[in-house]
Chain A
């Protein structure tokens, strides 16, 4: 009897072992953000149930330490097989070898271009796609309807043009002596994109050439875009940077302090606003200049494979299967519900329910004319923009001069990257 038991035990262990040998374990990394982790956990659970030969394990890290962890882990041959990254990091990450192209034998380029909205092409580098998004984001204007009413403005007629925007913001700004107690517009979060992608495109110049080798804004149009934005603070006095300190200060002021009446923010902020704002608020499409040209900045986080996924064909296949799963229409629906970010599939962005939604609608509308500006080095290219407006705001430099300095610095970054 004992012998039988022992044999059974050994057999059981052996089969368990062989099962686990046949199973592929994938490690998935993203940064810490409550709803994103939650959504991904739900997706992983579904995926694991449908794919018994694969086990996906999610690991997350604080945003500030994220790139550091990826660098250290991938260099040591450890870390994720599938990793989430901001689309703007593709340049520096693929150069450093943190990510590899998506395997074409498992993920067909023709399918990508047919299934996803065109914005996704911004992560096609050297003929290879480096990742695919579950969700995309665009910008819109959030405004506090209660503050609109208090200022005698019509809460159902948000500004359509930048002139109307400035007029409304003036009415919404409250000063005490030389200081503000409430501001009409809270700059900070997405303003480098607002200036470089939105305002410049609206004024008629794309910031970069189509091949992304040349900076095109070192001219009067670029200066005009920068001047428009800096005048809001220097001339119109409708807002100020760092009104509320911290990385999400502008949003905090809008949501919690209720002393910022309007912010330009991404669709990723919807969840936070919806869950925390204790007042009547609305969202509207980004205003335009008098020429009526619309523009928007689109962006996304994407799922990519690391060199570690390439260590074994089975792992690579499983990674591709997982990426296909988390970018399926069902996954996008779930992501929209849980995180609040917009779906990345062509088939879903035209969904009438979504388009007519008072909150999602303006973002979806913006998506139609949004562009995901291609960066070779997002961190450095963001810094040159921040420095450009700070030279005007803090040192009194003329926007025309500052934009030329920025264009040169930006061009140097593009040139450096080609080397």
Chain B
């Protein structure tokens, strides 16, 4: 047996311990970075929410939980909260279902798959401001493409003597009942590419042998999807659900830019919590109250994400 030469000059630390120390030393850099630019400001914003806002800390007045009480009884906050949950309730299931569907179809495509992928992904990398502008024009009542089509259709059915088939032009973003779903459509359209790419990667990670084995056992396409694809795609689905939900809860850019003259309007029907927070902070200079809104938004996102993880991240049995 060869003697371990290292044992002689062994320090009090074992190799694994030393490795761990090295690892922590290197980790310290990003850790300090995160602590100073992430955690510390987050804690500060909680602190801010307990004081009236003034640039001079000496002139801030402690108000305790006053802002939290205020926002809980504020109808605009309630509206923003309801809207935000509605955005999530619409965009998450629809964009995931569409994304998964398109990914499965794209998988079957063999010619020009890269092009299709690029086309679906393009909206995702287009600036939200540009998207909001273009969709703002498309939704425009008098010049938008949708009402243009409706009017052409109107003329057509009148021409052939079937005027009862005509549809009225829509107000879209100017209709308090329709504005939020109309904005949700834009968000789904924009996020679709992201979902498609994630699901394509996930699908490609599923070994072919499972499908072949299932087919030999006589599984039909639906059964393949339900019992092979879905369970094996579960980690990807969880990721997509969590990310899309968080995105929906933090919606800001699209809403600000799609209705520029009345942001969050009409009548607050498209207002999101993030936009509400921004308006309170920077249009009204009420940073203390706005900080309270961010703390509440943080708690909401935390709770929803934890619940989602608990519900969806079950161990998959093969």
Query: Which residues of the other chain, B, contact A74 by a CB distance below 8 angstroms?
Result: 55
In the complex, what's the smallest C-beta–C-beta distance from A63 to chain B, in angstroms? 11
Do residues B261 and A176 form an inter-chain contact, with CB atoms below 8 A? no
The answer to the question of B279 belonging to the interface, with a C-beta cut-off of 8 Å to chain A, is yes
**Contact size range, B:** 35 or more
Q: Which of A267-275, A318-326, A386-394 contacts B (4 or more CB under 8 A)?
A: A386-394
Do residues B267 and A394 form an inter-chain contact, with CB atoms below 8 A? yes
The answer to the question of B193 belonging to the interface, with a C-beta cut-off of 8 Å to chain A, is no
Query: 8 nearest interchain CB pairs?
Result: A379-B283, A96-B285, A97-B55, A92-B285, A97-B54, A245-B136, A68-B282, A247-B260
Do residues B266 and A178 form an inter-chain contact, with CB atoms below 8 A? no
Q: Which residue of A lies closest to B279 (CB)?
A: A379
The answer to the question of A418 belonging to the interface, with a C-beta cut-off of 8 Å to chain B, is no
Q: Can you pick out 14 interface pairs between chain A and chain B where the beta carbons lie within 8 Å of each other? A: A67-B283, A71-B281, A71-B285, A97-B59, A98-B55, A177-B169, A179-B169, A188-B261, A242-B173, A243-B141, A245-B140, A390-B266, A394-B171, A394-B267
Within residues 18 to 51 of chain B, which ones have a CB less than 8 A from any CB in chain A? none
Within residues 114 to 163 of chain B, which ones have a CB less than 8 A from any CB in chain A? 133, 136-137, 140-143, 147, 151, 154-155
Beyond A75-B55, A394-B171, list 9 extra A-B contacts (CB 8 Å): A96-B53, A96-B287, A176-B151, A177-B151, A179-B169, A245-B133, A390-B176, A390-B262, A395-B176
The answer to the question of A181 belonging to the interface, with a C-beta cut-off of 8 Å to chain B, is yes
- Can you list, as one digit per residue, whether each of A61-102 has a CB less than 8 Å from chain B (1) or not (0)? 000000110010011000000000000010011011110000
In the complex, what's the smallest C-beta–C-beta distance from B291 to chain A, in angstroms? 12
Query: Which residues of the other chain, A, contact B140 by a CB distance below 8 angstroms?
Result: 242, 244-245
- Can you list, as one digit per residue, whether each of B201-222 has a CB less than 8 Å from chain A (1) or not (0)? 0000000000000000000000
Query: Which residues of the other chain, A, contact B261 by a CB distance below 8 angstroms?
Result: 188, 241-242, 246-247, 249
In the complex, what's the smallest C-beta–C-beta distance from B216 to chain A, in angstroms? 58
The answer to the question of A293 belonging to the interface, with a C-beta cut-off of 8 Å to chain B, is no
- Can you list, as one digit per residue, whether each of A197-240 has a CB less than 8 Å from chain B (1) or not (0)? 00000000000000000000000000000000000000000001
Do residues B176 and A245 form an inter-chain contact, with CB atoms below 8 A? no
Query: Which residues of the other chain, A, contact B267 by a CB distance below 8 angstroms?
Result: 387, 390-391, 394-395
In the complex, what's the smallest C-beta–C-beta distance from A214 to chain B, in angstroms? 21
Query: Which residues of the other chain, B, contact A386 by a CB distance below 8 angstroms?
Result: 262, 265
The answer to the question of A377 belonging to the interface, with a C-beta cut-off of 8 Å to chain B, is yes
Do residues B137 and A96 form an inter-chain contact, with CB atoms below 8 A? no
Per a CB cutoff under 8 Å, which of A96, A177, A245, A395 touches B260?
Answer: A245
Do residues A179 and B141 form an inter-chain contact, with CB atoms below 8 A? yes
A307 in contact with B284 given A179-B142, A245-B136, A386-B265 (CB within 8 Å):
no
Query: Which residues of the other chain, A, contact B143 by a CB distance below 8 angstroms?
Result: 244
Per a CB cutoff under 8 Å, which of A177, A377, A387, A394 touches B284?
Answer: A377
Query: Which residues of the other chain, B, contact A240 by a CB distance below 8 angstroms?
Result: 141-142
The answer to the question of A380 belonging to the interface, with a C-beta cut-off of 8 Å to chain B, is yes
Query: Which residues of the other chain, B, contact A247 by a CB distance below 8 angstroms?
Result: 260-261
Q: Which residue of A lies closest to B260 (CB)?
A: A247
